[in-house]
């Protein structure tokens, strides 16, 4: 129950950040171009620093075992997510299948794990974010375009999330100790992830007329699959996973239960898909997740 209470508190804080972003955009203090540039800063600076920070740990065999557990559990959870989205949304367009398959593990999952389970637990969810990004740029690009030739290994090599994952693993495995001022800088930038991500999502919400958001049947279906069906099945999957550590199980579930990832809007723009539908999926699921994530955590008290 403590986890549910903490999650409700943190959801309330993140909702406040969302409202701030909404008001900044509506008040014309932050423009569409400005919110796009903030989104790039999140992707190329803040979230990579958050991932690197999570791997600055003293090496131990116990932590290494935890890494392998979290990596394999994350891979299985994401494979499950893709399979469910393909099965239940096969008649929907690519935007909704992409949105249901990929949660906002980086912008919402990481801050929630940090706030609810502590900064050390981000170590376990970083694998989820790295695998998710890899799958977005492979499977995600494929369903958006329908063309295998659009999958670019060059883009994967320069992906900031994957690069930060590799850098973080090197810092964890090698006997390297960063100077304290550098550690302080990394920690400060990493702490911006949650507030800045929700402010950017608030600007997305401000761009969508309320009637479009509430009347979109496809957005409701996408949100249902992303927020309830996939997380509920993930609860069962993690229950059946042998030798799972409770903290890792909860960290992976928080990432898997997060709303539609904001990257769906970026990919929709990049590949000339339905950007408005993508934004509706992101906004509706983000608002609904304030209620659904505590419900999923409540389910764990029964099944775990």
For 201-239, the pLDDT digits (tens) are 889 889 888 777 778 889 999 999 999 999 999 999 999
Please list, in sequence order, all residues whose beta carbon lies within 8 angstroms of the beta carbon of residue 137, skipping any fewer than 6 positions away.
Answer: 151, 152, 155, 156, 159
pLDDT higher than 80, residue 155: no
Return d(Cα 130, Cα 218) in angstroms, integer. Answer: 28
| Band (1; pLDDT cuts 50, 70, 90) | low
- Structure tokens belonging to residue 96: 């909704």
Instruction: Determine the pLDDT at residue 84.
Output: 97
DSSP-assigned letter for residue 139 = I
pLDDT higher than 80, residue 2: no
Contact 278, 95 (CB under 8 A): yes
- The packing angle between helices 47-54 and 180-190, to 10°, is 130
**Across all residues in the chain, what is the average pLDDT?**
89
CB-hemisphere CA count at 13 Å for 67?
17
Instruction: Determine the pLDDT at residue 198.
Output: 87
Q: With H, G, I as helix, E, B as strand and everything else as coil, classify residue 90.
A: coil
CA distances for 287 relative to 12, 73, 96, 113, angstroms: 11, 27, 17, 18
Contact 163, 55 (CB under 8 A): no
Return d(Cα 27, Cα 19) in angstroms, integer. Answer: 12
Give per-residue pLDDT as tens, 71-108.
Answer: 999 999 999 999 999 999 988 889 999 999 999 998 88
Closest CA to 103 of 303, 294, 264, 280: 264
Quick one: what percent of the chain has pLDDT higher than 90?
46
- Structure tokens belonging to residue 146: 């329908």
Q: With H, G, I as helix, E, B as strand and everything else as coil, classify residue 103.
A: strand
Instruction: Determine the pLDDT at residue 10.
Output: 82
What is the average pLDDT across 56-65? 89
Instruction: Determine the pLDDT at residue 54.
Output: 87
pLDDT higher than 70, residue 247: yes
Which CATH topology does 2-303 take? Na+/H+ antiporter like fold (1.20.1530)
| Band (49; pLDDT cuts 50, 70, 90) | very high
What are the boundaries of each domain within the chain? 2-303
Return d(Cα 44, Cα 125) in angstroms, integer. Answer: 18
| Band (40; pLDDT cuts 50, 70, 90) | confident
- Structure tokens belonging to residue 38: 């903030």
- Structure tokens belonging to residue 134: 């890899």
């Amino acid at each position: 129950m403590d986890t549910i209470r903490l999650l409700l508190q943190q959801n309330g804080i993140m909702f406040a950040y969302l409202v701030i972003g909404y008001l900044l955009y509506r008040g014309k203090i932050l423009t569409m171009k400005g919110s796009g540039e903030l989104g790039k800063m999140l992707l190329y600076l803040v979230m990579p620093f958050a991932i690197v920070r999570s791997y600055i740990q003293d090496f131990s065999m116990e932590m290494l075992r935890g890494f392998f557990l979290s990596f394999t559990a994350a891979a299985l959870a994401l494979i499950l997510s893709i399979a469910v989205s393909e099965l239940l949304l096969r008649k929907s367009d690519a935007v909704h299948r992409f949105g249901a398959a990929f949660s906002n593990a980086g912008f919402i999952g990481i801050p929630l794990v940090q706030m609810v389970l502590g900064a050390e637990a981000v170590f376990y969810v970083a694998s989820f974010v790295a695998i998710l990004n890899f799958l977005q740029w492979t499977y995600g690009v494929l369903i958006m375009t329908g063309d295998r030739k659009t999958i670019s290994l060059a883009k994967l090599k320069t992906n900031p999330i994957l690069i930060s994952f590799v850098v973080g693993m090197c810092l964890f495995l090698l006997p390297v100790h960063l100077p304290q001022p550098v550690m302080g800088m990394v920690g400060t930038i990493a702490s911006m992830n949650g507030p800045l991500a929700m402010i950017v999502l608030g600007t997305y919400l401000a761009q969508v007329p309320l009637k479009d958001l509430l009347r979109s049947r496809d957005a409701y279906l996408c949100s249902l699959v992303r927020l309830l069906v996939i997380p509920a099945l993930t609860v069962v999957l993690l229950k059946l996973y042998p030798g799972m550590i409770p903290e890792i199980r909860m960290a992976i579930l928080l990432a898997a239960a997060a709303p539609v990832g904001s990257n769906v809007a970026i990919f929709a723009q990049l590949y000339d898909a339905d950007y408005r539908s993508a934004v509706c999926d992101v906004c509706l699921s983000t608002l609904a997740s304030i209620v659904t994530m505590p419900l999923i955590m409540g389910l764990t008290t029964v099944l775990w």
